[in-house]
């Protein structure tokens, strides 16, 4: 099963996404990091298929984490989806410049995130089986 790494320091927000994985049959195992440094460590050790990234973290900003992951050979190809409380004009562009590929704003539309996750993971499983 594929792994998804959630980087989120807020416990309530983590629970919302954990519940979506548990009850909305998203076909992946969810791991969580609570800060940027932990996120960089876990991204390297777990090699997740995808990272869901909060922007405001206690140590590094999520966008800085995304930039650092791009400098590391083993993590540079992991897609990063931003889940941000920032909805200011230009924030989305900053996220894309940092290498992030999707941008969701809080309050999070969990159903729409779930649908995108399922589509992404199903496509990934299909391309895996094509390569076998
Ligand atoms: Mn946060």
For residue 14, the CA-to-ligand 1 centroid distance in Å is: 10
Residue ranges and CATH numbers for the domains of the chain are: 2-130 (3.40.50.2300)
Dihedral angle over CA of 54, 56, 58, 61, nearest 10 = 90
SS3 30: strand
Distance CA 35, CA 44 (A): 15
Q: Tens of pLDDT along 13-52?
A: 999 999 999 988 899 999 999 999 999 999 999 999 999 9
Decide: 28 and 21 in contact? Cβ < 8 Å: yes
- The pLDDT of 89-118, averaged and rounded, is 91
Q: From ligand 1's centre to the CA of 34, what distance in Å? A: 9
Cβ–Cβ < 8 Å for 85, 56 = yes
Q: Residues with Cβ < 8 Å from 76, sequence gap 6 or more?
A: 69, 70
Q: Give the pair of three-digit tokens for residue 5.
A: 């790494």
CA dist., res. 104 & res. 100, Å (int): 11
Over the stretch 75-88, which tens digit does the pLDDT of each residue have?
999 999 999 986 67
Report how far ligand 1's centroid is from the alpha carbon of 9 (Å): 5
Ligand 1 midpoint to CA 106 (Å): 11
State in Å: Cα 126 to ligand 1 middle.
Answer: 33
């Amino acid at each position: 099963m594929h792994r998804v790494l959630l980087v989120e320091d807020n416990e309530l927000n983590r629970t919302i996404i954990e519940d979506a994985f548990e009850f909305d049959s998203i076909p992946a195992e969810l791991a969580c990091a609570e800060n940027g440094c932990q996120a960089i460590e876990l991204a390297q050790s777990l090699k997740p298929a995808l990272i869901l990234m909060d922007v405001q973290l206690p140590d590094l900003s999520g966008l800085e984490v995304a930039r650092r992951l791009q400098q590391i050979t083993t993590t540079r190809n992991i897609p990063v989806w931003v889940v941000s409380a920032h909805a200011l004009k230009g924030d989305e562009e900053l996220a894309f410049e940092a290498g992030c590929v999707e941008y969701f704003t809080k309050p999070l539309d969990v159903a729409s995130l779930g649908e995108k996750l399922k589509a992404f993971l199903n496509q990934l499983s299909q391309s895996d089986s094509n390569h076998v």
